[in-house]
Amino acid sequence: MAIPVQDLVQANARYAQAFDQGDLAMPPAKKLAVLTCMDARVEPLAFLGLRLGDTHVIRNAGGRATPDAVRSLAISQRLLGTDAVLVIHHADCGMLTFSNDDIRARIKDESGQEAATAAAGVDFLPFSDLAASVRLDVRTLRESPLIPESIPIYGFIYDVHTGKLAAVE
Q: Which residues in 98-157 contact a second copy (CB under 8 A)?
A: 98, 103, 106-107, 110-111, 114-115, 117-119, 122-125, 144-146, 148, 151-152, 154
> How distant is the alpha carbon of residue 38 from its chain centre?
5
Which residue(s) pair with 60 in the sheet?
Answer: 37
Distance of CA 65 to the CA centre of its chain: 9
Cα–Cα distance between 142 and 111 in angstroms, integer? 38
Spatial contact of 36 and 88, defined as CB atoms under 8 Å apart: yes
14 binds a second copy (CB under 8 A): yes
Q: Does 11 contact a second copy by CB under 8 A?
A: yes
User: What's the rounded Cα separation, in Å, for the pair 104 and 160?
Assistant: 27
Task: By CB under 8 A, name the one of 78, 128, 131, 132 that touches a second copy.
Answer: 78
- Least distance (Å) between residue 139 CB and a second copy: 16
Question: Beta strand pairing status for 32-37 and 55-60?
Answer: parallel
Q: Does residue 57 interact with a second copy by CB under 8 A?
A: yes
- Smallest distance, Å, CB 132 to a second copy? 19
Q: Kindly state whether residue 81 participates in binding a second copy, applying the rule CB under 8 A.
A: no
Residues near 25 by beta carbon (within 8 Å), at least 6 away in sequence: 53
Which of 129, 161, 168, 169 lies at the binding interface for a second copy (CB under 8 A)?
161
Closer of 109 and 129 to a second copy (Cβ): 109
DSSP state of 151: S
Identified binder of a second copy from the candidate list 53, 127, 139, 142, rule CB under 8 A:
53
CA dist 68 and 71 (Å) reads: 5
Q: How far is the CB of 143 from a second copy (least distance, A)?
A: 11
Shortest separation between residue 89's beta carbon and a second copy, angstroms: 14
Pick the closer one to a second copy by CB: 82 or 132.
82
